[in-house]
Structure 1
Amino acid sequence: MRFDFFRRSSEDTGNDAPAHAEAGADGRVAYAMLLDAQRRVIGYRMAWRSADEGSEASGAAGVKALTDTLAMHLNPGSGGWLLGSQMLFVDVTVDALFQSDLQSLPPQQVVLCMGAEEMLDADLRSIVLFLREQGFGFMLCGASGLPEDPELRSIVTHFEVGAHDSETVLRLRQDAQLGHPPVEPIVSRVEDWAAFDACAGRRVSVFVDGAFSNPPVRETEDALQPEALLIVQLMQMLQRNEDLRVIEAALKHDAALTYRLLRYINSPAVGMAVEIHSLRHAVAMLGYSPLYRWLSLLLATSNKAGSPYMMKKAILRGRFVELVGQGMLPASEADNLFVAGMFSLLDQLLGVSMEGVLRKVQLTEAVQQAILSRGGLYGPFVALAESCERDDGEAARLSEALFLSPAQVNAAQLSALVWAQDASPAAGGP
């Protein structure tokens, strides 16, 4: 599976004003995740797809549309930067460097990606130096090495390397040891997880897209881990509306699970006005349905050997599916939408076949249809989420079928990124 996300067309002239206006109105955000050696998500690389699905909007207008959208949802004036320590990488054109729109994003959190020919252009040196002084990072793409000029060399904070280019990685680190400003190597494309692991062995971060997945590896009846089995038991109790004292008694068998559940419930993602101290308090404040949702989140993150990348991907998908369905389905369906989105990746998260999961977890018929065939009430929303992740050219058609505008899809995607910061399992565990 080849990741070839950010190649600008050589025919990109930046002179077609009508096309620019259309791109700004109808374009769509696409992103890849930056993973460190432990497969943790540490940043995103953003692109703007024009109304002509699958192509990038031309020139500065595409960058403007992207930065305007990112600023609206990730850096609102009153809320500040909403992605915490996460970094954004954005490909920019020469024209885009002179736009004031870049100033709508926090410089310390943004890395501008440029080709060697553009970054080394003498006519651009003043603006590039100015942006670097403001705090923007720069990733040099498609170059064989760092600039010889010390001033230009100081601009580069990140350097694109090939998945198997251990020599350049070693040279960059040796330069840092000699007193040069440190430059972080990043791999933009890998063929598969084996290539990723080779990069991880050299402590090089990698961009991966939504096509990357973890295949299920176990088929046995007892494949689920003990914590996962307990969570499944609790979920089934909730579905049967069993007495709260019975549910509490079952939960007390795992103090660490109780701790994690309460921490999730008290996270900013839930937005409770008061701190929840017990399961009984949670049910009194939230009811059974939201509690089922949070148990499903715990189930998805219960695999201790699981990939943080897959956990983040599942949380993002669940939230995205919930958000795009909000205006079309009753509010009472929100938890089912979230579960359908997240559980569509449960086999990859737990390392068990989907059929094996569904033998253990009792889900409604509508949720099962969405998970197994992308059918039923929730299936089209899950299919849209998958298409956006894969950037496969189908998102425009799928969103139109749901009467969703590109702006609504973009808002749901970026809002899910923000929400996942608070609901992330990266810091999970007691």
Structure 2
Amino acid sequence: MRFDFFRRSDSEHKAADQQPRVEVKAPVATPRVSDPGEAPGHIVHAMLLDSRKRTVGYRLGWRVTGVTAEQGGVAGFKSLLRAISQHLNGDGRAWALDEMELFVDATIESLFASELQELPAEHMVLCMSLQDMSDADARPMLLYLREQGFGFMLCGASEVPEDPELRRIVTHMDVGTVNPLVLARMSEGPDPLRVQWVATRIHDLGDLDAAANFHMKAFVDGGFPLLPVGQLVDALQPDAQLIVKLMRMIHRNEDTREIEATLKLDARLTYRLLRHINSPAIGGGVEIHSLRHAVSMLGYTPMFRWLTMLLASSHSTAGTPYMTKKAIIRGRFVELLGQGLLPPAEADNLFVVGMLSLIDQLLGVPMEEILGHVHLPTPVQDAILRRSGVYGAFLALAESCESDGALAAELSEELFLSQDQVNGAHLMALAWAQDVGAGADVA
């Protein structure tokens, strides 16, 4: 996995200055550069997984377009923070990502951005090099932000810093790949760095398992393989077979009595449907008299959408929590991109496109096998199989924003979407996924 779009070029690390602790109430230092204004670009994200492969945070980057990375540095940082504030923390709302942390790259100059003060410090982690964090002029601001509750991830350091004051600032440490010898060396000494170790160079599931064995968190981006080659099988598991059968029935607009009879074959599925119907977002406590009543109340299109999410979470694998969250985010992202551009029914198709574009990896079954069972409309299949047709560019845009964002500007222009529309849809999809469980009790 590559994280180049988050990183600055490496340079020599300066030795940490041994400075006495400075009592800081409000630093009076000024930024070293003037406010460069806005930097056009698109948000990209990676997921932070814990040792149980659950998503516990995100690392957000700003893929600059139209200017060089150097020109967009501080301006891109400011633009990213403004978008985060608007869509995840604006209008007096609670933090939309619950307990999750957001990691963003920072430089000395960006520490002075007023936009930082608009965000919840306890949920923000600033990623910085040892060289920048060792800068004596930046130390008062580092201490001030740390006292406010901001976290700091030390990036690119091969060993624990000796500076005691710096040790009190650092809350996370980028360890790159999982190297037991390096980790052992970092743990040595009477006063080891008390931080959360984060693996940022994860290439496959073996690396992810190694990080989990050390109780480390790890970043994975859109290029991370969900299943190793050769793990695909040729048949759906029983749970998935029943869900697919129901999806076929709804697609054929079969009578609600037939759908009710099929639902009764699985008590757990029946319970989950009734629980979903009675959720505040759907029924709000409306009395349900029968399964047929539940199906009629929900409606065929919303039920097909619900079954799509059920299908995505029906296969139990080591990576399921992460995989299911990824599919939910992508489905919602693709759907939001199409809102206002396509009719409502087409937007529903976009959600299905996004979710099912990962279904082969989620279920361990070849895509052609799954699509042969579900019988989706041709435009949906074209998008999933070839990224073509009316839905294909929407899916490709969402996938680009899951990785390095290299095609985001081109695809946005093709769809006549502004960067604000794309970035807003992206962040709102992350927030929406918080309210959707890994199971199928979903809104």
Same fold, TM exceeding 0.5?
Answer: yes
Q: Deviations over 1:115-140 (max 9, x none)?
A: 11111222222111111111111111
Instruction: Provide the rounded CA distance (Å) in 1 between the counterparts of 2:347 and 2:247.
Output: 17
Shift of 1:201: 1.9
Q: Structure 1 vs Structure 2: percent identity of aligned residues?
A: 54
Q: Which residue of 1 aligns with 2:177?
A: 163
The structural deviation recorded for 1:88 is: 0.4
The answer (yes or no) to whether the contact 1:384–1:398 under 8 Å persists in 2 is yes
- 2:74 is matched with 60
Q: Which residue of 1 aligns with 2:19?
A: none
* Structure 1 residue 7 corresponds to structure 2 residue 14: no
**2:137 aligns to what SS in structure 1?**
helix
Q: Distance in 1 between matches of 2:426 and 2:70?
A: 18
Tell me the CA shift for residue 243 of structure 1. Answer: 2.2
**1:41 Cα deviation from its structure 2 partner:** 1.0
Say if 1:219 and 1:108 are closer, same or farther in 2 by CA, change over 3 A.
closer
Report the secondary structure of 2:326's partner residue: helix
Within-5 A mapping of 1:212-361? 212-215=224-227, 217=230, 221=234, 223-265=235-277, 270=281, 272-274=283-285, 277=288, 279-305=291-317, 306-361=319-374
Q: 2:104 aligns with which of 85, 90, 114?
A: 90
Q: Would the aligned equivalents of 1:262 and 1:276 in 2 still touch at CA under 8 Å?
A: no
- How much is the aligned-residue C-alpha RMSD, in angstroms? 2.7
Counterpart among 26, 37, 43 of residue 21 in structure 1? 37
User: How far 1:109 moved relative to its partner?
Assistant: 0.6
**Contact 2:237/2:315 (<8 A) preserved:** yes
Change in CA separation of 1:263 and 1:417 when aligned onto 2, cut-off 3 Å: farther
Residues in 2 aligned to 1:47 and 1:257: alpha-carbon distance in whole angstroms: 39
Deviation for aligned residue 1:257: 2.1
Aligned to 2:156: 142
Give the match for residue 69 of structure 1: 83
Q: Quick one: structure 1 residues 108 and 220, their matched pair in 2 at CA, closer, same or farther if it must change by over 3 Å?
A: closer
Partner residue, 1:366: 379
Q: 1:8 to 1:344 in 2, by over 3 A?
A: same
Task: Measure, in 1, the Cα distance between the counterparts of 2:113 and 2:233.
Answer: 58
Structure 2 residue 52 is matched with structure 1 residue 38: yes
List runs of 5+ in structure 2 lacking aligned partners.
12-30
Q: 1:66 to 1:187 in 2, by over 3 A?
A: same
| Distance in 2 of aligned mates of 1:135 and 1:392 | 30
Q: Distance in 2 between matches of 1:219 and 1:304?
A: 14
Residue 360 to residue 73, structure 1, CA distance change in 2 (3 Å) = same
CA distance in 1, matches of 2:192, 2:275: 43
Paired amino acid for 2:201: R
SS of equivalent to 2:417:
coil
In 1, the alpha carbon distance for the partners of 2:193 and 2:264 equals 53
What is the CA–CA distance in structure 2 between the aligned matches of 1:247 and 1:426, rounded to whole Å? 21
1:8-40 Cα distance to aligned partner (Å, 9 max, x none): 2479x98586xx4351xx321111111122221
Report the CA distance shift for 1:15/1:120 in structure 2 as closer, same or farther (over 3 A): closer
Q: Secondary structure of the residue that 1:390 maps to in structure 2? A: coil
Q: 2:304 corresponds to which letter in structure 1? A: Y
Match of 2:28 in 1: none
Counterpart for residue 379 of structure 1: 392
Deviation at 1:147, TM superposition (A): 2.8
Q: Classify the secondary structure of the residue corresponding to 1:214.
A: coil
Counterpart CA distance in 2 for 1:54 and 1:320 is 27
Structure 2 Cα separation of the partners of residues 57 and 71 of structure 1: 23
Contact 1:30 1:46 in 2 (8 A): yes
- Measured after TM superposition, the shift of residue 391 of structure 1 is 1.9
Aligned-residue offset at 1:162: 2.7
| Contact 1:28–1:48 under 8 Å retained in 2 | yes
Q: Is the 8 A contact 1:322 1:335 kept in 2?
A: yes
Runs of at least 5 residues in structure 1 that lack an aligned partner in the other structure? none
Q: CA deviation at 1:281?
A: 4.3
Q: Quick one: distance in 2 between partners of 1:155 and 1:276? A: 54
How far apart, CA to CA, are the structure 2 residues paired with 1:53 and 1:256?
Answer: 54
Q: How many pairs does the alignment contain?
A: 420
2:23 corresponds to = none
